[in-house]
Amino acid sequence: MLFQHTIKRPVTFGGIGLHSGEDVWMTLLPAPAGTGIIFRVARPGERREEIRAVSGNVGETAYATTLVGGGTKIQTVEHLLAAFAGLGVDNAYVELTGAEAPIMDGSARPFVDALRAAGLQALSARRRYIKVVRPVEAHEGGKSVSLLPSPVPRITCRIDFSHPLIMDQEISIDLDAASFERELAGARTFGFLRDIEMLEKAGLAKGASLDNAVVVGEEHILNPGGLRWPDEFVRHKALDLIGDLSLAGMPLIAHAVADKPGHGLNKLLVRKLLSEKDSWIVLEGEPMLSEANLAAAV
Question: What total number of domains does the chain contain?
Answer: 2
Q: What is the pLDDT of residues 160-212, one digit of tens each?
A: 998 999 989 999 999 999 999 999 999 999 999 999 889 888 888 999 999 99
CA distances from residue 152 to 138, 149, 170 in whole angstroms, order as listed: 21, 9, 19
Q: Rounded to 5 degrees, what are φ and ψ at 67?
A: -95, 140
Please answer whether residues 177 and 242 qualify as being in contact, where contact means their C-beta atoms are separated by less than 8 angstroms: no
- Domain termination residue (choose one: 109, 127, 145): 127
pLDDT of the residue at 231: 97
d(CA 227, CA 174) in angstroms, rounded, equals 23
Closest among 146, 142, 180, 167 to 260, alpha carbons compared: 142
Q: Span 123-132, mean pLDDT? A: 97
Q: Show the domain range for 133.
A: 129-297
Helix (H, G, I), strand (E, B) or coil at 170: strand
- Could you tell me if 159 and 55 lie in one domain? no
Q: What is the pLDDT of residues 25-48, one digit of tens each?
A: 999 999 999 999 999 997 666 667
Which residue numbers are catalytic? 263
pLDDT at 270 over 70: yes
pLDDT of the residue at 291: 39
d(CA 265, CA 137) in angstroms, rounded, equals 10
Q: How confident is the prediction for the chain on average, in pLDDT? A: 93
Strands 154-161 and 167-174: antiparallel
pLDDT of the residue at 49: 82
- Could you tell me if 84 and 113 lie in one domain? yes
- Domain termination residue (choose one: 67, 99, 127): 127
Strands (E), 47-194: 49-52, 67-69, 72-74, 92-96, 120-126, 128-132, 136-140, 143-148, 154-161, 167-174, 190-192
- Could you tell me if 120 and 103 lie in one domain? yes
- Domain termination residue (choose one: 102, 127, 152): 127
pLDDT of the residue at 44: 63
- Which has the higher per-residue pLDDT, 199 or 122? 122
Q: What is the pLDDT of residues 221-239, one digit of tens each?
A: 999 999 999 999 999 999 9
CA 16 distance to own-chain centroid: 18
- Could you tell me if 30 and 148 lie in one domain? no
